[in-house]
Every structure is written in C-alpha cells, then in structure tokens.
Structure 1
C-alpha cells in the first residue's frame, strides 16, 4: 500500500482469510505492504521463511519483528494497539 508501512502482508487474492485481514487493517487505517504470493517473485518463500508454515496470510510487524498467521480482526487490532499503530 505504502512505503511508510510497518507491516508486511503476505497473501493471495483467492484467500478468504487474507481478504478479511486486509479489510480489518483497512478499517483500522493501518498501512501495510501487500506481497501477493501468486504474483510476486519470492513472496511465497519469504512467507514460509517468516512463519515456518505454508498458511496465509502471514503478517509481519517491523516494529518488533513479530508475525501472525491467519489472525482474526481482534488479534490484528490488539497487535496494532500494542505497537502504537492505532
């Protein structure tokens, strides 16, 4: 979304959990860089490298290096608040 993003979002258009997580971040007004694992070279591998899993979305927070896999909107909101993004 923006170069100022402190969140890297690894996902795919066909993924329902990805659509829900993107909608939550958009609703919160939190910027993120979207990495489409289907169309961006190396994105799928990077997502697995971060999480150790093949599940998406993988959402990595630059502020503390933490990541979430398939998070709920509630989990995303709590993490964004913890990091002062909300």
Structure 2
C-alpha cells in the first residue's frame, strides 16, 4: 500500500525543499506557486483521482455479472491518467484495479501484455491502452 504513495510523497517533499530554499532567498511568492505546482502534480499521480480500486477477482466477478469493463491501472501512469480524465464521470462505471496494490491484478495484466497499463478487459478480452472514446462506448448500455 505504501508503494502507491511513494511518487506523490516524493513530489510534495521535493516541492517543500525547493520552496523552503526560495523563502530563504526572499521569494515567498515564487515559493508558494512552486509548492502549489508540486502539490498538484502529487495529486495527479496519487490514487485519489481514480475511482476506488477493488481486487482483480472481485472486479472480474462483478464484470461477469454486469458486463462493465475492468480497468487495470497503476499510480503515476500518464496513460492511465489520460484514460481516467477523458472518461470523466463515466469512469466510476468501470471496475478499477490498482496493480500495485493487488498482486492478482498484476498477474492478470502480466499474462495479457507484460504489465502494460492501462489494460481494459471487456467480455474477457484484454485491450492495452485503448482509446478513451472506445472505452466510453463500452461503458454505455447497449441501445
């Protein structure tokens, strides 16, 4: 669980150190702006912007029941962030699995494509880094 917070915490720590140096040099305004940028980067790389993750087995069980896609992701992945942001509010309709906190999820992705994320599983078929528009279509109920 600690591994998923390593990058965000490093970003905040680095930002604090650089901001402290700027404050000592007499630039508190620059320090505040720089610290804000580092905190925003940390937030974007944290698991906070993603829907709550569940285990791979539970996600696969739920997907079999409701037909929704399973999205395997990891914190710090720019492609995962792109997918999450482009899905918008509909992202919560998918079942999200953080491969850094779920060994079964990491194994499932490794079996599909050498641990490349995001991997979206729809109807039992894995799709590596699919187009967000296509994933949004998979989230929509059939007409």
TM range (shorter): 0.5 to 0.7
Q: CA RMSD in A?
A: 2.8
- Kindly provide the CA deviation profile for residues 12-66 of structure 1, in whole angstroms up to 9, marking residues without a partner as x: 12101011112233344661111101112321111122x23321111001xx322
- Return the alpha-carbon distance in structure 1 between the equivalents of residues 97 and 125 of structure 2: 17
Q: Provide the residue aligned with 1:11 in structure 2.
A: 73
Instruction: Point out the structure with the larger strand share.
Output: 1
TM-score by length of 2: 0.45
Q: Provide the residue aligned with 2:94 in structure 1.
A: 32
Q: How many residue pairs end up in the alignment?
A: 81
Q: Provide the residue aligned with 1:48 in structure 2.
A: 110
TM-score by length of 1: 0.68
Q: CA deviation at 1:9?
A: 0.8
Q: Which runs of 5+ in 1 are unaligned?
A: none
Higher RCO, Cα 8 Å, sep 6+: 1
Instruction: Point out the structure with the larger helix share.
Output: 2
Q: Secondary structure at the match of 2:93?
A: coil
Q: Secondary structure at the match of 2:130?
A: coil
Q: Secondary structure at the match of 1:42?
A: helix
